[in-house]
A and B are shown apart, each in its own frame.
Chain A
Amino acid sequence: MPVILVSSDNQDFKVDKEVAERSILIKNMLEDVGESDSPIPLPNVTAAVLTKVIEYCEHHRNDPVQVPEETDDPRKRSNDIEEWDMKFMQVDQEMLFEIILAANYLDIKPLLDVGCKTVANIIKGKTPEEIRKAFNIVNDFTPEEEAQIKKENEWAEDR
Chain B
Amino acid sequence: MADSFKDTKGKDTKGKDTKGKDTKDAKDIKKSLSDMPAEVLIQIGLALPCRDFGRFLQTNRSIHSCLDSHYVWHQRFTTRFGQAILKDKLNPPLSNNDPSKLTPSSAHPSPRFPSSSSQIFHSSSNNNSNNNSANTSPTLQQQQQFDDQVDPVSAAPSPLPSPASSPRMTPSTAPLMPSDSSSDDGNGGEGSSSSRAKRPPKVKPRRIDLRKTNMVSKEMLIDMYKQLSRMTLPAEDMMIAHMGNQFWRMITSTESKYGKLAELASVWWMDVVAVFVGVPPGRYKVQWRLKVTSDAPVVNTEFRAVLFDKHEDQSTAVEKKSALTFRPMSKQEFVAQTDSPGNRVNKKPFRNLFKGFTILELPGELHVEVDYQNVFLQIRNHDDWKSGLYIDYVRLVNLDDPEQSQESLSNGLHGKRVAAGNEPVDDEGEEYYPSSSSSSSSGPLPWFKQVLGINPDAGIDTQHRFRSRATRQFHPVNPSDLLDVEKGESSAEKSESSAEKSQLSAEKGESPSTARNKSNELEEHRKPVERPDAWYRLLTFLFIYCLYICFWK
Contact = CB atoms under 8 A, between A and B. Distances in A.
Contacts of B60: 132, 137-141
Interface stretch (A14-22, A24-32, A53-61, A92-100): A92-100
A153 B226 CA distance: 10
Contacts of A116: 40, 43-44, 47
By size class, the interface of chain B is: 35 or more
Contacts, number: 125
B64 interface: yes
Nearest to B83: A72
Given A128-B59, A149-B64, A159-B230, A135 B32 contact: yes
B36 A101 contact: yes
Contacts of A84: none
A43 to B, nearest CB: 13
Contact of B39 (A94, A104, A120): A104
Given A120-B48, A137-B63, A159 B229 contact: yes
Interface in A82-137: 93-94, 97-98, 100-101, 104, 112-113, 116-117, 119-120, 123-128, 131-132, 135-137
Interface stretch (B129-137, B182-190, B241-249, B494-502): B129-137
A157 B36 CA distance: 26
A158 interface: yes
Given A137-B33, A140-B60, A140-B61, A157 B54 contact: yes
Interface residues of A, number: 47
Given A93-B31, A117-B47, A149-B64, A156 B53 contact: yes
B31 A136 contact: yes
Interface in B28-72: 30-34, 36-37, 39-40, 43-44, 47-64
A127 B31 contact: no
B229 A131 contact: no
Given A75-B370, A137-B60, A155 B131 contact: yes
Contact of A137 (B32, B39, B226): B32
A153 B68 CA distance: 11
B312 interface: no
B546 interface: no
Contacts of B281: 78
Contact of A132 (B57, B59, B229): B59
B530 interface: no
Given A120-B44, A124-B49, A131 B39 contact: no
Given A125-B52, A135-B33, A153 B135 contact: no
Nearest to B309: A74
A153 B231 contact: no
A148 B47 CA distance: 24
Given A117-B47, A153-B54, A77 B79 contact: yes
A154 interface: yes
Contact of A97 (B36, B55, B129, B131): B36
B36 to A, nearest CB: 7
Given A116-B44, A120-B44, A125-B52, A153 B32 contact: no
B521 interface: no
Nearest to A129: B59
B258 to A, nearest CB: 14
A38 interface: no
A79 B47 contact: yes
A145 to B, nearest CB: 8
A117 B56 CA distance: 14
A153 B58 contact: yes
Interface string B305-320: 0000000000000000
B48 A124 contact: yes
B371 interface: yes
Contacts of A128: 55-56, 58-59
Interface string B332-373: 000000000000000000000000000000000000001100
Contacts of B49: 124
Contact of A104 (B40, B47, B79, B232): B40
A150 B57 CA distance: 9
A130 B52 CA distance: 12
A126 B49 CA distance: 12
B40 A74 contact: no
6 contacts: A94-B31, A97-B33, A135-B33, A137-B63, A153-B54, A156-B55
Interface of A: 74-75, 77-79, 93-94, 97-98, 100-101, 104, 112-113, 116-117, 119-120, 123-128, 131-132, 135-141, 145-146, 148-159
Given A120-B52, A157-B54, 5 more contacts: A119-B33, A137-B32, A141-B61, A146-B58, A159-B231
Interface of B: 27, 30-34, 36-37, 39-40, 43-44, 47-64, 79, 129, 131-132, 135, 226, 229-232, 281, 370-371, 404
